[in-house]
Chain A
Amino acid sequence: MRWMWIDRIVELVPRQKMVAIKNVSLAEEHLHDHFAADAKRGLAALPIMPASLILEGTAQTAGILVGHAEEFREKVILAKINRAEIHREATPGTTLRYTATIERMDGAGASTKCVIELFDFAAAAGFVEIGQVEMMFSHLDQNMGGAGKTGEAFPEHNFVFGEGFKTLLRTSGIAVP
Chain B
Amino acid sequence: MTRDEIFLKVRDVLVDALAVDDEEVTETASLINDLGAESIDFLDIVFKLEQSFAIKIAQGELFPEGVTQDPKFVKDGIVTADGLVAMKAKLPHVDFSNFESDPRISKVASVFTVATIVKFIEGKLAKR
Interface residues of A (CB under 8 A from B): 79-80, 82, 103-104, 106-109, 111, 136, 138, 143-144, 148-151
Establish whether residues A108 and B17, one from each chain, have CB atoms under 8 Å apart when the complex forms. Answer: no
Please judge, given known A-B contacts A148-B66, A148-B70, A149-B69, whether A136 and B59 are in contact too, CB under 8 Å.
Answer: no
Contacting residues, chain B, for A82 (C-beta < 8 A): 16-17, 44
Establish whether residues A104 and B40, one from each chain, have CB atoms under 8 Å apart when the complex forms. Answer: no
4 closest residue pairs by CB, A with B: A79-B40, A148-B66, A104-B47, A80-B40
Establish whether residues B47 and A103, one from each chain, have CB atoms under 8 Å apart when the complex forms. Answer: yes
Q: Which residue of chain B has the shortest Cβ distance to A138 in the bound complex?
A: B40
A177–B70 CA distance with the chains assembled, in angstroms: 34
A-B contact pairs, 27 of them (CB 8 A): A79-B39, A79-B40, A80-B40, A80-B44, A82-B16, A82-B17, A82-B44, A104-B47, A104-B50, A106-B59, A107-B59, A108-B59, A111-B43, A111-B44, A111-B47, A136-B40, A136-B43, A138-B39, A138-B40, A138-B43, A143-B39, A143-B40, A144-B39, A148-B65, A148-B70, A149-B66, A151-B69
Query: Could you tell me the distance in whole angstroms from the C-beta of B90 to the nearest C-beta in chain A?
Result: 13
Interface size class of B (residues with CB under 8 A): 10 to 19
Establish whether residues A109 and B40, one from each chain, have CB atoms under 8 Å apart when the complex forms. Answer: yes
Query: Could you tell me the distance in whole angstroms from the C-beta of B56 to the nearest C-beta in chain A?
Result: 10
Query: Could you tell me the distance in whole angstroms from the C-beta of A28 to the nearest C-beta in chain B?
Result: 31
Within 8 A of A (CB), among B41-83: 41, 43-44, 47, 50-51, 59, 65-66, 69-70
Please judge, given known A-B contacts A107-B59, A108-B59, whether A148 and B69 are in contact too, CB under 8 Å.
Answer: yes
Contacting residues, chain B, for A103 (C-beta < 8 A): 47
Q: Specify which of B43, B66, B70 is in contact with A109 (CB 8 Å cutoff).
A: B43
A122–B40 CA distance with the chains assembled, in angstroms: 42
Q: Specify which of A108, A144, A148, A151 is in contact with B43 (CB 8 Å cutoff).
A: A108
Contacting residues, chain B, for A109 (C-beta < 8 A): 40, 43
Within 8 A of A (CB), among B1-57: 16-17, 39-41, 43-44, 47, 50-51
Query: Could you tell me the distance in whole angstroms from the C-beta of B16 to the nearest C-beta in chain A?
Result: 8
Contacting residues, chain A, for B50 (C-beta < 8 A): 104
Establish whether residues A150 and B69, one from each chain, have CB atoms under 8 Å apart when the complex forms. Answer: yes
A150–B66 CA distance with the chains assembled, in angstroms: 9
Establish whether residues A136 and B44, one from each chain, have CB atoms under 8 Å apart when the complex forms. Answer: yes
Query: Could you tell me the distance in whole angstroms from the C-beta of B37 to the nearest C-beta in chain A?
Result: 11
Q: Which residue of chain A has the shortest Cβ distance to B50 in the bound complex?
A: A104
